[in-house]
Structure 1
Amino acid sequence: MQKIIVLIGPTGIGKTDLALKLAPKINAEIISGDSMQIYQEVSIGTAKPTAEELRQVKHYLVNQRSIFEEYSVKDFVAEGTKAVNQIVAKGSIPLVVGGTGFYINALVNKLQLGEPGDYQTSVDPKWEKYLKENGVEKLWQLLNEKDPDAAKKIAPQNSRRTLRALTVISRTGKLFSQQQEKISPRYDALIIGLNSDREEVYQRINKRVDKMMAAGLLKEARFVYDNRAREHQAIQAIGYKEFFPYFSGEKTLDECVNKLKQASRKYAKRQLTYFKHQLPVVWLDPLHDRETPEKALNEIKSFFVDCKIKLNTLEK
């Protein structure tokens, strides 16, 4: 089974920095495991690698789509597996880096819901009608009544996943959560996770939001807001929708910035919950342990010990 490396962790923990240090040392190329970095028009709010960072190491699934195009986990898995094959064909190591847990899980494992099937290719019109008539919250409440375990793993605002879960339930007669559990590995993956003291992670997130604001996040959010007439994924992304009340005159800018910080902290908590419950992770603390890069390299070396791939830098 093909070996790959996966680097995960909550937003703002330093995944990109570590990935850029690791990649040249292990002859790796990076596949973005973030659901938003695929979009060309949004960079600041998605914490996309800079132009310089993209030049340092070859990246895949970055800047490949417009926000006006549909992009699903099924697309991610298809393009992610293609990227893995391309990297392996070069004799390099695939390094998946990101924080979108469900996408990464679907790539690493053959989640049943990530595979082609008639009930997955479209959303049941009756649920779309229900959403239009009753709103996102009630749609999620309906899922919570039908399948509480599935609802726990889906944010109430994520109408796309809620619609899909309800569609799967109605078309298969089986719980969405039970079908998610029926998985088999697609790759032999070493999953390295970054995490640290919760309050320190939260402080980093707050500072990160301030840096994003200084870099022009408000302008980017305005672009998303002005184009919200069309339903696309960026509308629902943390980092953009929090500013909509400011643009409509309902809240002050400071209120919206604070809301973004709060939403980002909550998102980090949800990320960690998903990672800890859904994936086998080797955890490292980059904020308190200066040897984190070396420990990550040692984990990788051990992982490839019986593989024909040469990790020349590690063997020196």
Structure 2
Amino acid sequence: MKKVIAIVGPTAVGKSALGLKLAQEFHSEIISGDSMQIYRHLDIGTAKDSPAELKAVPHHLVDICDPDQRYTVKNFQERAKKIITDLNEQGKIPFVVGGTGFYLSSLINNLNLGGNSTGDDKVRQELLEIEKNDGVGRLQSILKSEDPIAYRKIDIENSRRLIRAIEVIRTTGKSITDQNNGNKWANFYLIGLTDDRPKLYERINQRVDKMVEMGLLDEAEYVFKHRETFVQAKNAIGYKELFPYFEQNTPLDSCLDEVKKNSRHFAKRQFTYFRNQMDVDWYNISDDNNYQKTIEKNIIKFVGGHND
């Protein structure tokens, strides 16, 4: 059975830094589990590792698409599984690092996400038309009727999640949240990082300020100017909140406050998702000064050998 280590948790908690350290320690490679780091040219708002960090440890599924390209959960699942298989065959246990819960769930639970048949495309187009004409509320009603389990578990404010969930139930007959609708194909050790909420929120606020110093406004303006074609990227936290500033409707400080607020809310949703949907071994980074050493020991146990 293949083996994989995943590092999950809320935004700004330190997943990337830990992933880099552990991947170096165990002579392995990193697979990004982030739905926005796939896009080229969007580096600051997506919190990518620096060029030096990307060079220090081989990274996969980073900078693989242009921002105007569509990238699905199924695309991620298929590519990540192949990379994991290849790395395992080389004797490496890969580290999947990221905070996009549904991406990781699709991989861990081997979810049946349907195919790319004409029928699937037809369903998707019908749902996109419903969203355009009737709004998200209509999609929510459809999902509640056709797949009440998914309605209770996924983020129903996210139209892409709604469309995908309806698409899967209609094309496969199975709920997208059914953890038994795929065959177990790998053993995962899930490392979860968390922190006391006030400390985590302060880390988030500080990271937004640092992003601004690094050039977030220029990057967000680039997305704003291409918002008609950057269909997925334009909805990322850190970009969309700044659009009113570029439209000269809202002061910059107010927009940045909105980035921080939405980032804090996102962190809360991430933690809730991982806590409720996955079997995670949690580590509070403030409570345990030696949590990294404990994690290393547990990884060695999971691998079933010794770290060379």
Q: Please give the residue correspondences for 1:250-289 in structure 2 after superposition, counting only pairs within 5 Å.
A: 250-289=249-288
**Cα offset, 1:156, TM superposition:** 4.5
Partner residue, 2:131 = 131
SS of alignment partner, residue 222 of structure 1: helix
Unaligned runs of 5+ in 1: none
Cα distance, 1:123–1:245 mapped onto 2, change above 3 Å: farther
1:133-184 Cα offsets, whole Å, 9 max, x none, are 1233543355346545423444344222212223334456x57466455344
1:286-306 Cα offsets, whole Å, 9 max, x none, are 23322111011011011122x
**Cα offset, 1:11, TM superposition:** 0.3
Q: Does 1:220 align with 2:219?
A: yes
Unaligned runs of 5+ in 2: none
Q: Identity of aligned pairs, percent? A: 42
Cα distance, 1:22–1:162 mapped onto 2, change above 3 Å: same
1:82-104 Cα offsets, whole Å, 9 max, x none, are 21123223322211111111101
Partner residue, 1:311 = 307
SS of alignment partner, residue 300 of structure 2: helix
User: What is the RMSD of the two structures over their aligned residues, measured on CA atoms?
Assistant: 2.2
1:252-288 Cα offsets, whole Å, 9 max, x none, are 1111111111111111111111111111111111233
* Conserved 8 A contact 1:21-1:293: no
Q: Provide TM-score, normalisation by structure 2.
A: 0.91
Q: Does 1:90 align with 2:90?
A: yes
SS of alignment partner, residue 99 of structure 1: coil
SS of alignment partner, residue 129 of structure 2: helix
2-structure distance, mates of 1:184, 1:50:
36
2-structure distance, mates of 1:225, 1:141:
31
Cα distance, 1:65–1:281 mapped onto 2, change above 3 Å: same
Partner residue, 1:195 = 194
Partner residue, 1:79 = 79
AA at the equivalent of 1:222: E
Cα distance, 1:263–1:163 mapped onto 2, change above 3 Å: same
* Conserved 8 A contact 2:111-2:176: no
Cα distance, 1:128–1:276 mapped onto 2, change above 3 Å: same
Cα distance, 1:231–1:67 mapped onto 2, change above 3 Å: closer
2-structure distance, mates of 1:152, 1:209:
31
AA at the equivalent of 1:288: D
2-structure distance, mates of 1:60, 1:301:
23
Q: Provide TM-score, normalisation by structure 1.
A: 0.89
2-structure distance, mates of 1:127, 1:116:
16
Aligned length: 307
**Cα offset, 1:65, TM superposition:** 1.0
**Cα offset, 1:121, TM superposition:** 5.3
SS of alignment partner, residue 105 of structure 2: helix
1-structure distance, mates of 2:75, 2:56:
26
* Conserved 8 A contact 1:131-1:139: yes
Cα distance, 1:145–1:201 mapped onto 2, change above 3 Å: farther
1-structure distance, mates of 2:278, 2:122:
28
Partner residue, 1:207 = 206
Moved more, 20-29 or 40-49: 20-29
* Conserved 8 A contact 2:3-2:88: no
Partner residue, 1:61 = 61
2-structure distance, mates of 1:192, 1:116:
31
